Amino acid sequence: MSGKTYEMIGGDGEQYGPFTIEQLQDNLSHGRANAQSQIRETGTETWQPLGQVLGNQSIENFAEYREAILTGNRRLDVGLAFSQGSELFKAHMGILIGSFLLFMLLIVATASVPLIGSCVQITLQGPLTGGLFILILNLIRTETASIGDLFEGFKSFGGLFLIVLVQTLIVSLVVLPGVALMIGGFAMEVDFRALDWQDEEAVILALLEALTAGLQNPLTILGFLLIIILSIISYVLIFFPLPLLADRKLGFGEAFGLGFQVSKRNFFPILKLIIIGSLVMVVSLIPCGLGLIFAGPWFYAVMAQAYEQMFSLSSVALQSEE
């Protein structure tokens, strides 16, 4: 890592230092500084917020960054992610809700385009999701952000589009066994030999009855549960490459490989995080979906805090999951 040193303005207005980057991290973790504390590299004139410098600490190359992340064997603290995410949401509720609503509006609007809606949505979902994470990470690191940050993901358009495309393909392939079981469950409720294929109305009626009966077929239920389980497992392993690429401006292969490795190490903590968050999201849909206005940005804030624990160079050592 770099041998740079920094000077810092303390809470009393006095200038202190020089500090190494590790000493600055220690000051932050022990409350001797905060994200807004002003620091500058020794010998320069430009002052910056401590959170911004730590969150975007330069590295010589990807190999060095990868080594720094993997060497620490970081473990996600689920309780801390929920706590910090909730505090962030309460402190910046306005911009988080506003950016999330704009994000959802753009996603829904693009999906509604006649004939090509799905293609347009997949094309834009990566950059918009990446931009939403950049906005939230700016709030975490510097306590400042703007709605315009939502569109910062378009600076890495190609990589983010490719990540969403690959994620979609992976999940689609992984859930095929569950889909096959569900089709089999519905098919068991239809006596195809007894159908009069010349009577279209009778065929449609028989298929609708089979659809209703198939919902109670054990094979259909098993297939549905398998789809949910396999989707969650996939989501755990391949979600974090997207914010990693948006934040670090990595290549597709670099982000996907490192994101997968770190997620695999933290499989059960991430699984716990996603299950709890998903349950909250489902409950939020009960009052006509209005709860999603709050639960959506809250969960993104939680996921961003989880990302910071696992991928930020400014993170302190994380405790292993008990």
DSSP secondary structure string for all residues of 137-194: HHHHHHS---GGGGGGGGGGHHHHHHHHHHHHHHHHHHTHHHHHHHHHHHHTT--GGG
Q: How far is residue 93's CA from residue 206's CA, in Å, rounded to a whole number?
A: 51
Question: Residue 149 falls within a domain, yes or no?
Answer: yes
Q: Which of 43, 58, 73 is the last residue of a domain?
A: 58
Pairing of strands 6-9, 15-19: antiparallel
Domain that holds residue 168: 62-181+213-311
The DSSP bridge partners found for residue 38 are 49
Place of tokens 């949505």: 121
Residues 136 and 155 in one domain: yes
Q: What angle do CA 168, 172, 173 make, to 5 degrees?
A: 120
Q: Which of 58, 80, 104 is the last residue of a domain?
A: 58
Q: What is the pLDDT of residues 95-136, one digit of tens each?
A: 999 999 999 999 999 888 887 888 888 999 999 999 999 999
Domain count, the chain: 2
pTM, to two decimals: 0.77
Residues 249 and 112 in one domain: yes
Q: What is the pLDDT of residues 190-220, one digit of tens each?
A: 777 777 777 788 778 877 887 788 788 899 9
Question: Residue 300 falls within a domain, yes or no?
Answer: yes
Question: Residue 141 falls within a domain, yes or no?
Answer: yes
Q: What is the pLDDT of residues 308-321, one digit of tens each?
A: 999 986 653 333 33
- Position 61 confidence tier, pLDDT thresholds 50, 70, 90: confident
Residues 36 and 115 in one domain: no
Q: Which of 28-32, 54-58, 99-103, 224-228 has the lowest mean pLDDT?
A: 54-58
